[in-house]
Structure 1
Amino acid sequence: MKAVVLDAEDHYQVAEIDEPAPGPGEVAIQVAYAGIQWGDVMVRDGHFPFPRPFVPGFEASGHITAVGEGVPAHRVGSPVAALTTAGACAEVVVAPAVLSLDVGDLPLRTAAGLGWAAPTAYDLINTAAQVRPGESVLIHAAAGSVGTLAAQFARHAGAGRVVGVVGSAARADYAARFGYDQVVLREEFPAKLDDERFDVILDPVGGSTRRTGLEQLAPHGRLAVYGNLGPYEPVLADTNDLLMQGRSLITYNSNLLSRTHPERLADSARRALGLAADGTVRVDITAEHDLADLATAVQRLAEGATYGKSILRIA
């Protein structure tokens, strides 16, 4: 089968490799589309220690072609969206059955665009931060795949005010399409918001952004951390100071959750898929690439040149 392979020199190339077979609790999927996400940048840049050569791709949509031991045979032929540990940038990928979710009539292109971003955004709003009706929410990286979905999930949860932070005026214009009440530039943050305090802040950035976030929390506010797009420097929090105002610092790691409690992640992904299927939220696929163009797609994501979601067309 054809697949994209990342070699020891960090070059992507399309190659012929053996087709994988599903093991116990797994399914094989004929891939229609693969989602492109920040994890692909992290792998390319060596932040995730995957051995090379490596077939990238952590999210896929397509049809199940075979099942492993313990997986019902009737799932063969089902259209699914899958969260994978690797290998989605190929004609066939093996994925955990529990994280290969039936999508019904949802187009496979749309299903691939949801990927890991959908359960991550859903959990940040509904499980980690537990946004309540009327609360205010601040979302960093507001024009990205998680940010655009999180804004919509916050509205669905009844948030009273949703504010986004982005890196450019063009990204601000784009993010404004997803229900934000206000979008501010990173260079204007936090001055543009005066002394406004928020009940919930979503932070994938780190560094000074994280320190500022702790100061911007309202009493009983929650800062939900789910990545480090910026510096990896440690951010220290005084628990006594947090206690006095009832503030909380919360972390969320979807990759860890997929390994410790995959059924929880699957439940959130299923709920997100349902909200996409009924039109409550939308995923915006802004770029579709051929298999041979993965290097370009990942580089554009790393440079912040993409909005919303990019996908790779396989079939």
Structure 2
Amino acid sequence: MKAVLLDTDDRYRLVELDEPTPGPGQVAIRVAYAGIQWGDIMVRDGRFPLPRPFVPGFEASGHVIAVGEGVDPGRVGAPVTALTTAGACAEVVLASAALTLDTGDLPLRTAAGLGWGAPTAYDLINTAARVRPGESVLVHAAAGSVGTLAAQFARLAGAGRIVGVAGSTARADYAAGFGYDRVVLREDLPADLDGERFDVILDPVGGATRRAALGQLAAHGRLVVFGNLGALEPVPADSGDLLMNGRSLLTYNSDLLGRTHPERLADSARRALALVADGSVRVDITAEYDLADLATAVQRLAEGATHGKSVLRVAHPRA
């Protein structure tokens, strides 16, 4: 099979490999599309120290072609989307059956766009922050895959005001199409918010953004941290000060959840998928690349040159 290897010299190479065989609890998927996400950048840059050479790719859609021990053989032939630990940038990938979801009539291109971002955004709004009707929400990285989905899930949860933060005018204009009441530029913070306080703030950035967010919470507000796109620097929080104002600092780690409680992550992924399938939520795929162009796809994401979701076309899908 064709696959992309991330080698010891940090280069991506298109190679031929043997097709993998599913083990207990696994399925093998003939990949139609693979999703591109921030984790691909972190692996490339060594922030996730995985052994090299390594077949990257953490999101795939396609059809099940084989199952391992303990998996219903009736799943063979089903169109699916899967959250993987590696290997999606190949013609065949292995995935946990628990994190492989049937997609029904949903186009496989759209299904690949769900990836880890859809359950993450769903959980940030509904499980971690527990957004209540009428509450205000501030979303950093508003033009990204998680940000565009989080705004839509927040609206469905009844949020009264949703404000996004983007890194450029072009990204702000793009994010505005996903239900934000307002999108501000990161360079204009905090002045452009004019002292506004929020019930919920979603922060994947870290550093100065995270320090400022602690002071932008309303009484009983919740800051949910789910990444470190910026500097990896500690951000101290005074528990006494949080207590006196009823504020909370929460974290969400979808990768850890997938390893410790995959059934919980799968449940959120199914709920998100259902909302996409019935048209309540839109996944916007703005860039599509060939398998051999993975290096370009990852670099463009790292540079902020893309917004929404990017995918790799691995094979011509049947659905």
Q: How far does the alpha carbon of each residue in 1:185-229 deviate from its partner, in whole angstroms, 9 at most, with x for none? A: 000011101110000000000001001000000000000000000
1:74 aligns with 2:101: no
Cα shift at 1:100: 0.2
Superposed CA RMSD: 0.4
Equivalent residue for 1:102? 102
Cα shift at 1:16: 0.2
Cα shift at 1:244: 0.4
Q: Secondary structure at the match of 2:56?
A: coil
Cα shift at 1:136: 0.2
Q: Which consecutive unaligned segments of at least 5 residues does structure 1 have?
A: none
Cα shift at 1:76: 0.5
Equivalent residue for 2:158? 158
For 1:252 and 1:119, the matched residues in 2 are separated by 11
* Equivalent residues in 2 for 1:16-31, closer than 5 Å: 16-31=16-31
AA of the residue aligned to 1:260: T
Equivalent residue for 2:177? 177
Q: Secondary structure at the match of 1:279?
A: coil
Equivalent residue for 2:288? 288
AA of the residue aligned to 2:266: A
TM-score by length of 2: 0.98
Q: How far does the alpha carbon of each residue in 1:59-85 deviate from its partner, in whole angstroms, 9 at most, with x for none? A: 000000000010001000110000000
1:7 aligns with 2:18: no
* Equivalent residues in 2 for 1:127-276, closer than 5 Å: 127-276=127-276
Q: Secondary structure at the match of 1:232?
A: coil
Q: How far does the alpha carbon of each residue in 1:140-189 deviate from its partner, in whole angstroms, 9 at most, with x for none? A: 00000000000000000000000000000000100000010000000001
For 2:313 and 2:60, the matched residues in 1 are separated by 10
Q: Secondary structure at the match of 1:183?
A: strand
Q: Secondary structure at the match of 2:61?
A: strand
AA of the residue aligned to 1:63: H
Equivalent residue for 1:277? 277
Q: How far does the alpha carbon of each residue in 1:244-267 deviate from its partner, in whole angstroms, 9 at most, with x for none? A: 011000000000000000000000
Equivalent residue for 2:48? 48
Equivalent residue for 1:313? 313
For 2:280 and 2:313, the matched residues in 1 are separated by 26
AA of the residue aligned to 1:9: D
For 1:246 and 1:19, the matched residues in 2 are separated by 54
For 2:48 and 2:195, the matched residues in 1 are separated by 38
Q: Secondary structure at the match of 1:158?
A: coil
Q: Secondary structure at the match of 1:122?
A: helix
For 2:66 and 2:52, the matched residues in 1 are separated by 27
Q: How far does the alpha carbon of each residue in 1:80-139 deviate from its partner, in whole angstroms, 9 at most, with x for none? A: 000000000000000000000001100000000010000000000000000000000000
Cα shift at 1:284: 0.3
Q: Secondary structure at the match of 2:95?
A: strand
Q: Secondary structure at the match of 1:213?
A: helix
For 1:133 and 1:190, the matched residues in 2 are separated by 25
Cα shift at 1:18: 1.2
Cα shift at 1:19: 0.7
Cα shift at 1:240: 0.4
| Runs of 4+ residues over 2 Å off in structure 1 | none
For 1:146 and 1:162, the matched residues in 2 are separated by 14
Q: Which consecutive unaligned segments of at least 5 residues does structure 2 have?
A: none
Q: Secondary structure at the match of 2:155?
A: helix
AA of the residue aligned to 1:269: A
AA of the residue aligned to 2:270: R
For 2:184 and 2:124, the matched residues in 1 are separated by 21
For 1:208 and 1:71, the matched residues in 2 are separated by 47
Q: Aligned pair count?
A: 315
Q: Secondary structure at the match of 1:274?
A: helix
Q: How far does the alpha carbon of each residue in 1:278-315 deviate from its partner, in whole angstroms, 9 at most, with x for none? A: 00000000000000000000000000110100000000
For 1:25 and 1:264, the matched residues in 2 are separated by 17
AA of the residue aligned to 1:194: D
Cα shift at 1:236: 0.5
AA of the residue aligned to 2:145: S
